Chains A and B, each alone.
Chain A
Amino acid sequence: MTRIACLLPTNELQDHAALLQVALAHSPRVEDAGAGCVYLDASGLQSLFGDDARLADRLRDAAFAAGLAIRVGVAASRLGALAAARLGSGVTVVEPGGDAASLAAAPLSLLTLSEPLTTRLSRWGLRTLGELAALPTAGLFERAGAEGVQAQRLARGEDPRPLASWRPVPAFEESVECQWGLETLEPVVERLSELATQLCGRLGARGLAADGFEWVCRLAGGRAHEGALTPAVPLTEAAAVTGLLRLALEARPPRGIVEGLTLRARPTRAGAVQESLTDPSRPSPRFLAATMNRLVALVGSDRIGAPALLDSHRPDAVGLDAYASPSPRRGEGRVRGSRVRGAAPVLALRRLRPPAPAAVTLASGRPVAMRSSRLAGRIVAGVGPWRSSGEWWTTQPWLQDEWDVELADGTLCRLAHDGSAWHIAGIYD
């Protein structure tokens, strides 16, 4: 005989993870239904906790001890337990065989139905689960298909689907205490390498990889030196992780004697991909991860990535996305050959960042000469102004008049006036 308990918070602002832990402390089979709702398999728990009412009381008390206010419903089906928890007060137990009767008055909105079926049932004038359960099944199948029949079975308290078991994510963390304080970087890296080997072994045994690492060095005097790194691709190789940790620690070494180390890995599911001979050449994930971390140490994390055009007309509105090695399947569907081939070559603009301030001489409102630290000379030809403005509805509006000009030495550049000063936005090249 299946018995299912539903734990429902009285408000949505409660700790869902804590609620899952409360459920897991009472039953080995727990389903995370989302939106704060948790189901647990209450079958066979009588010898441990007593009958359903005692179990429900115990669940409510355990949640209260964890700082959670919940309602508990126990029934033979998930929908019955949910209705009991939502429509009842505190603890509600539906006796075995009583699900259909208890659901009869519940609203149809308890079911998760598609939009067409919801509309159809509403047009039929159905408001409660009891009315849906009372319809002839054959006629319902003819009009609403398999989804209608499935909904009717749920409304009758029949729940053939087993619980989708939820498991807590294991903590991938290793620590070591250093009997003798470590004063130099090399032994610290060696200890971290040992921890990385253990972590990677555990990750590999579960078919996981890590897309983030955090370390804590406990220093003499009670201080701590913390850091984190995010590899370009999920890793399972201890050697690669060690290399990244070494680079990160070299860039920012601990300031003191290290007495203990902790290394944590953020697990992720590494998709298995079958490589093929026709896949494009791409950087090796291991080499790329090491290279990216060296580059980050060299130029800074905010100065490396894939260029991204921002959704703005503001001049030079560009950002940086994280650069990722392409997946082998990314090239699929791409038209063979280049759309660039045969196209007219495009004139490039070289940006000056930041824009170089310029002193511009005007004649009849048109620039005739300019002088700046980068360029200077007489302007022999020019067109403009091209006026643009935007974001006037924000606190940072912008306005710009742009001129394309040719200097006497042949240089083509873009001059800009932002309403208060002139500057050189870029040079055509």
Chain B
Amino acid sequence: MGIPIESSPPPGWEREGIDGLLGLFPPGRLSEIVGPRSSGASSLLLALIARITTSGTGGQVAFVDGMDALDPLSAAATGADLSALLWVRCGGRLRVALSAADLLARCPGFALVVLDLDDLGPIPGSACIRLQRAVEGTGATLIVRSERHREGSPASLVLAARRLAPQWMGLRPLTRLAGLRSEISISRSRLHSLSPLGRGSGEGLQGEGLQGEGLQGEGLQGEGPQGEGPQGEGSWTLDWTLSQ
């Protein structure tokens, strides 16, 4: 019996493109995306949501919005299927956001649970551990988006976003904002048992998916691991385009 055509990678699959970055998030684990304002962290989050909701598996995403900051128009511009997105608006209440994330992390069936806190405040250490335990049982990917990384967090993967430069169109005077260039780097990784798509096994993040020379996708210029840095270090330079 032949291999069904659906099993082959779909058109547009770029092992080395942004998928290489988005494919890092391990299921059943707590991950973090940290970064200050205008660092591209939220854009990375929306790209991941779009990837999951529009994939052939029809994944469902729960978005716990601590600050009511989600812009559905931006999400739609990334191509995300909004009907597959459960949006929970917490109105700036940290405890409510943590409780909602805990409930959703324990509900089987969601491919991704996002807890977007931004600058709402640091998560108590006990809450982090509780979230990690909750998501282990369902196999969902749990991502916490906050302004800065909290020491002692049990996160398996921490991606740090850093603003490089805004992209303007036109010379002086400027005519419009075209986008933002930012750098995403791995500031912490405990991924010791990743699948082949998860890049690496016990060797940190030196797998081929993280090699800089592969990051030649559209809108994506890879710079690869930064020299002889610590094991697991890698970075991506991304150009986020402002949708009009």
Contact = CB atoms under 8 A, between A and B. Distances in A.
Interface of A: 280-284, 287-288, 291, 294-295, 298-299, 303-309, 316, 318, 320-321, 323, 325-326, 330-331, 334-353, 381-383, 404, 406, 410-413, 426-429
Contacts of B69: 350-353, 426
Q: Is the interface of A mostly helix, strand, loop or mixed?
A: mixed
B152 interface: no
Interface stretch (B7-15, B125-133, B203-211, B223-231): B7-15
A299 B43 contact: no
A340 B59 CA distance: 14
B41 A429 contact: yes
B74 interface: yes
A428 B38 contact: yes
A323 B88 CA distance: 11
A281 B59 contact: yes
B118 A350 contact: yes
Nearest to B173: A383
A291 B104 contact: yes
Interface in B52-107: 54-60, 67-80, 82-91, 96, 99-100, 103-104, 106-107
B43 A347 contact: yes
Contact of B60 (A282, A316, A343): A282
A341 B51 contact: yes
A413 B68 CA distance: 16
Interface of B: 6, 9-14, 17-19, 35, 37-47, 50-51, 54-60, 67-80, 82-91, 96, 99-100, 103-104, 106-111, 118, 163, 166, 168, 173-177, 179-180, 217-220, 238-243
A280 B107 contact: no
B219 A383 contact: no
A345 B9 CA distance: 20
Contacts of A283: 60, 107-110
Given A294-B103, A342-B17, A345-B240, A429 B39 contact: yes
Given A283-B108, A348-B42, A411-B37, A307 B75 contact: yes
Given A281-B111, A341-B17, A343-B218, A320 B87 contact: yes
B108 A295 contact: no
Contact of A287 (B14, B107, B220, B241): B107
A213 B154 CA distance: 42
B177 A404 contact: yes
Given A282-B109, A350-B118, 6 more contacts: A303-B90, A309-B72, A316-B71, A345-B240, A346-B240, A347-B40
B181 to A, nearest CB: 10
A367 B47 CA distance: 32
